[in-house]
Structures are given as structure tokens and as C-alpha cells.
């Protein structure tokens, strides 16, 4: 930085404050007692005082000012291993970032921009200047968008900035499709990819997420200078492949994409097709928990106060109507299981808009029970939005042996949360053939939801 210099004689008289006097000394040879050769490259001529090479900059500084602002500089100049050199080379620091650090130490002035913020953050961390580090994180937070969220997430993980990483992940959750479509997505490292795939809150169809992961694998093969083959894509993905939730896809999505990708083995493809088409469903080594696209904590309510034995099934759906006082998203039901010990059930679950007679969500699946009177989770593939005061029908069609059932049912059930307002469910018996389920007795004891 070329600074316009004032006459040196009596310059102190023109500065009305300590800050002004120190700011005048920033990048100034006046009174300097140390020089830094910053940036990659070799100084021309060698030896102390040699001219900086291409990409380097020789910057004057004052030991006292630097030691007063940074514990690292204090140790460098005054510690037990203090340097006595008048010129110090810093090949791992960018000149612009080092000048931004010194400007801050001399004057508290923050001068960062999109091109220098990451290198300045690195330099602030290296020299233990947390106030400048906080300014960098604040700048990044203000400029965080879906199209740069993955790039910033990689940097936040690299620089151990959990607050920034959390904000990046929130942005990716809210705008997953835009985030994975950006150039920066294919540049992330495998650990960052896995951290994202583990999340329950991504707002994207699993088939599209799989397509993005394949793009990442192709880019990673090129980075590792490997031929882009099915086997190499599987190799570079490693455990990331196990984090794709194939059971959340429709059979059509699976057949059109993953089944033909060559990344899954023939046995995995067959097992997943069986999972989609037969009951009871064979166990697969992939997560089937929905990506809720929701914030907060999972909640549930149980409408029965007591459990009894025997509830039979003959192909008729158990149904119960309900309304809620606020907008929620239902992700599944808790159902009763067998009175005859461990058993597998086939089940279709639905939520229907009662007035419109419109199915809002359904899932053909199954569940295993252990013979106890507990409830067993059966989940939808995607959250179902429930609006206040609208009447809905919860429906479960079970195929299996006689089960436990609930009695002493409550017409009104209130869920209280310390961080949110009350959620009030009101239940109504469903007209028509409902396999006997009513407000007082029956199946569908539990609703699992997010507020």
C-alpha cells in the first residue's frame, strides 16, 4: 500500500488522539524496528534487506504495537524463543490479508472485502486476533447465499468456525436445490459432503440429491486423477453412498436413476426393488427416516390413557378425524403391535383432507413390533403440512395378527413445549367403516409432528 506521507517534523502535533498517531505509523518506515516479507516467493539477491520477489511485499512494522495487539506477536518478540531478526519472512500469509491485520492492530479499522475475507480470517486466527476474526465471520454471514453456502461451509469447517458452519447448513437446508446446483458444491471435501448428507432437514427429493452426489463423485475422480468409471465413483464416495436414503424415493425415481447408475451393486439394486414392491419388506442397509425439511424438535401426542388386548384386522382401515389449532407438519404415526410376541406388519398410512376428500400423503410400508404394549413408529416419506382449523382424517390399514389397542381416549390432547406455544389436537370419530376406531377406543394412538 502506497501511503501519502506527511512532513516528518512535528507530525505528532497534527494528530489529536492516540489512535490517529498509531494509524499514522501503519505501514510506515518511521520508527519501525522490524520488517515482514509477506507472500510466496524468494527475495531477490538473498540475505537480510534483499528486495522482495514477485508476489511478495516488504512491510515495515513496530514490535511494541504488534505485541500489544497479539499474543502471538508478543511471544515472537518477547518470549523465551524471541526472534532478534530485523526481517521476518511469512510465506504462508497473503500481503493484502497481513496489511488488513496490521491496519486493525494500529487503528481498529476493518478493511475486508469478498476477495480478501477468507485470507484475512486465516491471518486473524494465525495471530490470535479474535476481534478481527469476528468481523470476518460477520462479513461472511451477511454475504451468505445459497450459491456460495457450500464454499463458505468448507472454509468454516477448515477454520473451525462453528457459528458460521451452522448458518451455512441452515441456508443449505432452506434452499437445498439452489445450493447443490452451485459450482461450489462439487468442490467440497468428502467430510463436508457426509456432514450434509447426514442431515434430516434438507429440502429436496432424494432422487435429485442422488444426482448431485453423482456429479460430486465425477468431480472427485478428476481431482484424484482417476478414470470416471462406476467403480471409481463408488470408491471415492465411500461411506457417503450409505447416507443416501434410497427408501425415500418412489420406485419410478429409483428405477430411472440409482438402479441404472452402476454405482450400486446388482444385489443392492435387487434388494431395494424388493423393498419397494413386496411385504414384509426385506431389511436394507439404507436409512428410511424422512428428511423433514423442518426445524426444531420432534414432538408427539398420545390420545389414549390405557392399553388393552385384542384388536383385529380384516382389510378395513382404522380412521380417526382431527383438527389442530396451529400449523404443524406430521411426519408419522405411532401404532400398536401384536399381542402374540415379535411380529411384522404390513401397513398403509394416509392423511386425508376430510372436506376435500383429498389424500395429502401416504406410504405403503411395514413395521416390526416386539410384542409389548408400546407404540411403533411408521413414518411418511415426506412431512405433511397441517393447517389450523381444517379437518383431517388419519388412516392406517394394517395386515397382521391381532394387536393391542387404546382405551379411555381423550377428545382433546394438548402438547406443551417450553420454546413454543401450545399445540391442541381435537379428535372426532370418523363416519363410515373405520374398523371400530373411535375417540374412545382403537388404533392410531400417536401422531408424530413438528411445529
| Residue pLDDT, tens place only, 41-58 | 766 555 555 667 777 899
pLDDT of residue 335: 97
Alpha-carbon dihedral sign for residues 13, 15, 17, 20: negative
Mean pLDDT of 318-336: 95
Mean pLDDT of 215-235: 96
Q: Which has more confidence, 227 or 290?
A: 227
Query: 223: domain CATH number?
Result: 1.25.40
Same domain, 176 and 307: no
The answer, yes or no, to whether residue 2 has pLDDT greater than 60, is: no
Percentage of residues of the chain with pLDDT beyond 90: 72
pLDDT digits (tens, 9 = 90+) for 289-310: 887 666 667 899 999 999 999 9
Q: Is the residue at 330 inside a domain?
A: yes
Number of domains observed in the structure of the chain = 3
Q: Does residue 34 sit in helix, strand or coil?
A: strand
Confidence label for 256 from pLDDT (cuts 50, 70 and 90): very high
Beta strands in 278-374 (DSSP E): 299-302, 304-311, 318-324, 328-336, 343-353, 358-369
Taking Cα atoms as reference points, which of 262, 267, 155, 162 lies closest to residue 210?
Answer: 262
Mean pLDDT over each residue of the chain, to the nearest integer: 91
Same domain, 161 and 237: yes
- CA-to-CA distance for 120 and 101, rounded, in angstroms? 7
Strand 358-369 to 318-324 pairing: unpaired
- CA-to-CA distance for 118 and 186, rounded, in angstroms? 19
Same domain, 153 and 136: no
Q: Are 317 and 395 in contact (CB under 8 A)?
A: yes
Give the residue numbers spanning the domain of 106. Answer: 11-41+53-142
Query: 64: domain CATH number?
Result: 3.30.710.10
Same domain, 321 and 442: yes
Same domain, 72 and 180: no
* C-alpha cell belonging to residue 330: 406430521
pLDDT digits (tens, 9 = 90+) for 185-224: 999 999 999 999 999 889 888 999 999 999 999 999 999 9
Same domain, 359 and 306: yes
Q: Is the residue at 286 inside a domain?
A: no
Tell me which of 86, 120, 142 is where a domain ends. 142
Tell me which of 142, 174, 208 is where a domain ends. 142
Query: 424: domain CATH number?
Result: 2.60.120.820
Q: Is the residue at 317 inside a domain?
A: yes
pLDDT of residue 283: 80
Mean pLDDT of 415-421: 80
Same domain, 130 and 166: no
Q: Is the residue at 4 inside a domain?
A: no
Same domain, 408 and 433: yes
* C-alpha cell belonging to residue 249: 424415493
Phi, psi of 422 (to 5 degrees): -65, 145
Q: Are 21 and 12 in contact (CB under 8 A)?
A: yes
pLDDT of residue 55: 77
Q: Is the residue at 46 inside a domain?
A: no
Mean pLDDT of 369-393: 91
Same domain, 260 and 400: no
Mean pLDDT of 411-423: 87
Q: Is the residue at 285 inside a domain?
A: no
Mean pLDDT of 75-99: 92
Residues near 244 by Cβ (< 8 Å), separated by ≥ 6?
197, 206, 209, 210, 213, 258, 286
Least reliable range by pLDDT among 28-32, 53-57, 106-110, 229-233: 53-57
Q: Is the residue at 5 inside a domain?
A: no
pLDDT of residue 230: 94
Same domain, 387 and 406: yes
* C-alpha cell belonging to residue 99: 496489511
pLDDT of residue 3: 53
pLDDT digits (tens, 9 = 90+) for 150-171: 999 998 998 888 989 999 999 9
- CA-to-CA distance for 132 and 120, rounded, in angstroms? 8
Same domain, 136 and 154: no
Strand 403-409 to 375-386 pairing: unpaired
* C-alpha cell belonging to residue 386: 397441517
pLDDT of residue 174: 86
Q: Which has more confidence, 417 or 43?
A: 417
pLDDT of residue 5: 54
Confidence label for 322 from pLDDT (cuts 50, 70 and 90): very high
pLDDT of residue 293: 61
Mean pLDDT of 95-122: 94
Tell me which of 277, 308, 330 is where a domain ends. 277
pLDDT of residue 277: 87
Q: Is the residue at 190 inside a domain?
A: yes
pLDDT of residue 284: 86
pLDDT of residue 294: 63
Same domain, 218 and 306: no
- CA-to-CA distance for 437 and 146, rounded, in angstroms? 46
Amino acid at each position: 500500500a502506497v501511503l501519502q506521507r506527511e512532513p516528518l517534523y512535528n507530525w505528532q502535533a497534527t494528530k489529536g488522539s492516540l489512535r490517529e498517531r498509531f494509524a499514522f505509523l501503519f505501514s510506515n518506515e518511521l520508527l519501525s524496528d522490524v520488517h515482514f516479507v509477506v507472500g510466496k516467493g524468494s527475495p531477490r539477491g538473498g540475505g537480510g534487506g534483499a528486495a522482495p520477489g514477485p508476489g511478495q511485499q516488504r512491510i515495515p512494522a513496530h514490535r511494541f504495537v504488534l505485541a500489544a495487539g497479539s499474543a502471538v506477536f508478543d511471544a515472537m518478540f518477547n518470549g523465551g524463543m524471541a526472534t532478534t531478526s530485523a526481517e521476518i519472512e511469512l510465506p504462508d500469509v497473503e500481503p493484502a490479508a497481513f496489511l488488513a491485520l496490521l491496519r486493525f492492530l494500529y487503528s481498529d479499522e476493518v478493511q475486508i472485502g469478498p476477495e480478501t475475507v477468507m485470507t484475512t480470517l486465516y491471518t486473524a486466527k494465525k495471530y490470535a486476533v479474535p476481534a478481527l476474526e469476528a468481523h470476518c465471520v460477520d462479513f461472511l454471514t451477511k454475504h451468505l447465499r445459497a450459491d456460495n453456502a457450500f464454499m463458505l461451509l468448507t472454509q468454516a469447517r477448515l477454520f473451525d468456525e462453528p457459528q458460521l458452519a451452522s448458518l451455512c447448513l441452515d441456508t443449505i437446508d432452506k434452499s437445498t436445490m439452489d445450493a447443490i446446483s452451485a459450482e461450489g458444491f462439487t468442490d467440497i471435501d468428502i467430510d463436508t459432503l457426509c456432514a450434509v448428507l447426514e442431515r434430516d432437514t434438507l429440502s429436496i427429493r432424494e432422487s435429485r440429491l442422488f444426482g448431485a452426489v453423482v456429479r460430486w463423485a465425477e468431480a472427485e475422480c478428476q481431482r484424484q486423477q482417476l478414470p470416471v468409471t462406476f467403480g471409481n465413483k463408488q470408491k471415492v464416495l465411500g461411506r457417503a453412498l450409505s447416507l443416501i436414503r434410497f427408501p425415500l424415493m418412489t420406485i419410478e425415481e429409483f428405477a430411472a436413476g440409482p438402479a441404472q447408475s452402476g454405482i450400486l451393486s446388482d444385489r443392492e439394486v435387487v434388494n431395494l426393488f424388493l423393498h419397494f414392491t413386496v411385504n414384509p419388506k426385506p431389511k436394507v442397509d439404507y436409512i428410511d427416516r424422512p428428511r423433514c425439511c423442518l426445524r426444531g424438535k420432534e414432538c408427539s401426542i398420545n390420545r389414549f390413557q390405557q392399553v388393552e388386548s385384542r384388536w383385529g384386522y380384516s382389510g378395513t382401515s382404522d380412521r380417526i378425524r382431527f383438527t389442530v389449532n396451529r400449523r404443524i407438519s406430521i411426519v408419522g404415526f405411532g401404532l400398536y403391535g401384536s399381542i402374540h410376541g415379535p411380529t411384522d406388519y404390513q401397513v398403509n398410512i394416509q392423511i386425508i383432507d376430510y372436506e376435500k376428500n383429498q389424500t395429502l400423503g401416504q406410504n405403503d410400508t411395514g413395521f416390526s413390533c416386539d410384542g409389548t404394549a408400546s407404540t411403533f413408529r411408521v413414518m411418511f416419506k415426506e412431512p405433511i403440512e397441517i393447517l389450523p382449523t381444517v379437518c383431517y382424517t388419519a388412516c392406517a390399514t394394517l395386515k397382521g395378527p391381532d394387536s393391542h389397542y387404546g382405551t379411555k381416549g381423550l377428545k382433546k390432547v394438548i402438547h406443551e413445549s417450553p420454546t413454543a406455544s401450545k399445540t391442541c389436537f381435537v379428535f372426532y370419530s370418523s363416519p363410515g367403516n373405520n374398523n371400530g376406531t373411535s375417540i374412545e377406543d382403537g388404533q392410531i394412538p400417536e401422531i408424530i409432528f413438528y411445529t
